[in-house]
Amino acid sequence: MGTMKSLLFTFGQLLRLQTGPQALPYSPSLLVITFLLLTLMPVLMAFGHGPWFNLLMLSILTHGFTFLAAYLILYVYKKPQRFVQTAFAMAGCLFLLNLLMFIISSVVPPLANYLGIASKAILYLLLLLGSCWTLLVQGNIYRHALEIKLGLGMLITLAVSMALAILLMLLKVVVIGA
C-alpha cells in the first residue's frame, strides 16, 4: 500500500511539473501494466457504445507510436537507458489525465444542463485546457529525461504529436465519436 501511495504522490508531482521521470522506480513490469491500462482505457470507457476493436487498434497504434518515438528520441540523445522510467512517467501521466478528462466529459454536460449554462462550450474549454496540460506534462518529462530546456521538450512533444497526426491521416484512421 505504501508503494502505491508513493507512486501516486510521484505522479502527482509529475502532473504538477515538480519532478521528472527519474523520481519513478526503474520497473519494466510497472511500465507494461501501465501501458496496458492506458491502451485498454478507451475500450473500457466506450464499452457498449461503439466499435471496441477499432478503438483498441487506434489506441495500440497511438500509444505504440508515442513510445517508439520516445525511445528513438532518447537513443538520439544517447540516453536509451532512461526509456523505462520515461515511458512509465508518460504512460502513468497520460492514464491519469485521460481519466480526468473522461470524468470531466461525463460530469460537465449534466451539471451544466442542470445549472442552465452552455455545456458544450464549457466542456470544450475544459478538454482544450486538459489537452494543453497533457502536452506540457509530456514536454516536462522530455525536459528531465533528456536534460534540456522545457521549451525544447515542448517542441519535441509537439513534433511527436504532429507526426502521429500525419501518420493517422495517411492511414486514414477515422474514429467517429471517440
In a domain, 82, yes or no: yes
pLDDT(176) > 60: no
In a domain, 66, yes or no: yes
More confidently predicted of 123 and 6: 6
Domain range spanning residue 49?
21-170
In a domain, 41, yes or no: yes
DSSP 105-132: HHHHHHHHHHHTS-HHHHHHHHHHHHHH
Tens of pLDDT, residue by residue over 38-82, are 998 887 777 666 677 878 888 899 999 999 999 999 999 999 999
CB atoms within 10 A of CB 137: 21
In a domain, 77, yes or no: yes
Of 44, 74, 70, residue with least CA distance to 59: 44
Place of cell 466529459: 105
Instruction: Give CA–CA dist 161/137, Å, rounded.
Output: 13
Instruction: Give CA–CA dist 139/133, Å, rounded.
Output: 10
Question: Rounded to the nearest 10 degrees, how much is the dihedral formed by the CA atoms of 160, 143, 83, 94?
Answer: -60
User: Mean of the pLDDT values across residues 139-153?
Assistant: 96
Tens of pLDDT, residue by residue over 78-103, are 999 999 999 999 999 999 998 888 88
Tens of pLDDT, residue by residue over 87-144, are 999 999 999 998 888 888 777 666 666 666 666 677 778 888 989 999 999 999 999 9
Tens of pLDDT, residue by residue over 17-40, are 999 999 999 999 999 999 999 998
More confidently predicted of 149 and 4: 149
Q: How many domains does the chain have?
A: 1
